Structure 1
């Protein structure tokens, strides 16, 4: 009887740990790896990120948040972009400058103006966000300017990027 009770306690502990890990991964925090350069110079290819999944369960995304979300054209793929506009905002790109509600957006996180054609104006619908990659070179980022992404529904947002945990370019061998 002692062996059976110990075994059942062990199984109960294991099930509890698996359930806790699943809950944390689904609603708490997760790790993500950047693939590509669409968020350069802020994020680099291979960066390991800590994503706060809980934040958007209790708060709406804000302008300036760097978020991960399910690719609207391929739900098995995640993208990472910066929120430029939220519900009610009017976004326009003219002459390489991003405008929110008619006012030029001060973008200290990017190293170049937006290349390519002008875009908009686009009114951001409630329950969606307008996102751009920080890399503003022509065709460097598939974001809300492109039909395959467009306005991102809030329910596709996975979480807010909180920290870069590790950057491969900083790793060195002796």
Structure 2
């Protein structure tokens, strides 16, 4: 019996840290795409084979070392220049088409309004661009790849909003 329990615990740890995990959305930073208390399955293993792509929804370690995780969208990739001007996000001088944000809401800034993304970094933002609704790379800067935990694969709860996220 003890062997079975130990094997089950080891298997659970391996699955959670190397294959997939589940997460619950806390807060409003990803609205209108994701809402409070929605649940997702997130894949860990793709991080071993490729970098996240622009538009992917990722789970990152909170930069304040609180042990929390944030759900954000990848906006900038290594080598990109990100700039926010007049409420619009520009990637390498081209306005980003963001059909996942609230229509008519302009993207604000915290301190900086431009960033150069280094190798091994990503610029992430919440979809909710209303003032003060998302603490993201506009606030804490680009995120190192090692802090990208997993990528959203599917929303399974509520069942009426079941969604498979493309990669």
TM-score by length of 1: 0.85
Q: Secondary structure at the match of 1:74?
A: coil
Aligned pair 1:39/2:30, yes or no? yes
- State the alpha-carbon separation in 2 of the partners of residues 43 and 165 from structure 1: 12
Kept in 1, the 8 Å contact 2:110–2:138? The answer is: no
Aligned pair 1:55/2:46, yes or no? yes
- State the alpha-carbon separation in 2 of the partners of residues 140 and 168 from structure 1: 26
Query: Which consecutive aligned stretches of 4+ in structure 1 deviate over 6 angstroms post-superposition?
Result: none
Q: Please, which of 5, 21, 40 is the counterpart of residue 14 of structure 1?
A: 5
TM-score by length of 2: 0.88
Q: Please, which of 1, 17, 20 is the counterpart of residue 29 of structure 1?
A: 20
Partner of 2:131: 138
Q: Please, which of 90, 99, 112 is the counterpart of residue 90 of structure 2?
A: 99
Structure 2: 5+ residue stretches without partners: 162-167
Residues 169 and 37 of structure 1: CA distance in aligned 2, closer, same or farther (over 3 Å): farther
Kept in 2, the 8 Å contact 1:63–1:83? The answer is: yes
Q: Say which one has the larger Rg.
A: 1
Deviation track 1:112-143 (CA, whole Å, cap 9, x = no partner) reads 33145785321001111001100011111000
- State the alpha-carbon separation in 2 of the partners of residues 75 and 169 from structure 1: 33
Deviation track 1:2-55 (CA, whole Å, cap 9, x = no partner) reads xxxxxxxx4333322221111000111111111100000000001111111111
Structure 1: 5+ residue stretches without partners: 1-9
Q: How many residues align?
A: 159
Aligned pair 1:74/2:80, yes or no? no
